[in-house]
Amino acid sequence: MSFREIAVTIRAVNRASHEFTRIQNDAEALSVRIKSLGAAIAGLGATETAIGHIAHQFGLLNDQQARVFNSAMMVVTVLGMFMRTSWGVAVAQKVYAAACWIATAAQNSLNISYATWLALTGVGIAVIIGAAAAMWYFASQMNAATASVQSFNEAVAEMPERGRSIRRAGEEELYRRGVE
């Protein structure tokens, strides 16, 4: 037998590539949504600027109100246009990541405080009530046992001395022989 007929096949599987691709696809989808939102905000700002100009023309806004309104809407338009750039997408993603972190921290603190509240109000009170019920039951059983012993002692004390030494017939024989 020679080693020339043996073939070895090596197949390398990179399992991390799939996850990196998934993360890349999620990031690209987020950037597309951010750019789409930026376009909508820019369009909304431009539309509101036009509405402000028309409102000024019809006398609904005076000069100062129209200037302030149009300036604010131009800022909205510029913000929307900035969100469509790569820098704007990067800033928006960082803001989104920070908001997610804050929301996660808030949710975790709410979960912890809710669990603590449940433990202290629901389960804690139930444990206290259960312990009180068990203590009451034990105390009532002890009181009943004590009353029984006291009544027995009172009954024995009322019995004449000679009555206490009464024995059954044949009992002396059992004591003498022992219990078989």
Highest mean pLDDT: which range of 30-39, 109-118, 170-179: 30-39
Angle between helix 86-117 and helix 63-83 axes, rounded to 10 deg = 90
Looking at residue 60, its amino acid is L
Segment 2-38, tens digit of pLDDT? 556 666 666 666 666 777 788 778 878 888 888 888 8
Q: What is the mean pLDDT of residues 82-102?
A: 85
Is residue 1 over pLDDT 60?
A: no
**pLDDT for 134:** 93
Chain-centroid distance of CA 141 in Å reads 43
Looking at residue 72, its amino acid is A
Is residue 171 over pLDDT 70?
A: no
DSSP code at position 61: S
The three-class DSSP label of residue 2 is coil
- CA 141 – CA 136 distance, rounded (Å): 9
Q: What is the mean pLDDT of residues 63-77?
A: 90
- CA 162 – CA 167 distance, rounded (Å): 11
Is residue 172 over pLDDT 80?
A: no
- CA 65 – CA 160 distance, rounded (Å): 113
Q: Which runs of consecutive H residues, i.e. helices, occur in the chain?
A: 15-57, 63-83, 86-117, 124-158, 161-164, 171-177
Which helix (H) or strand (E) segment is 99 a member of?
helix 86-117
Give domain limits for the chain: 23-84, 107-180
Is residue 159 over pLDDT 80?
A: no
Q: CA-based angle 170:174:177, to the nearest 5?
A: 135
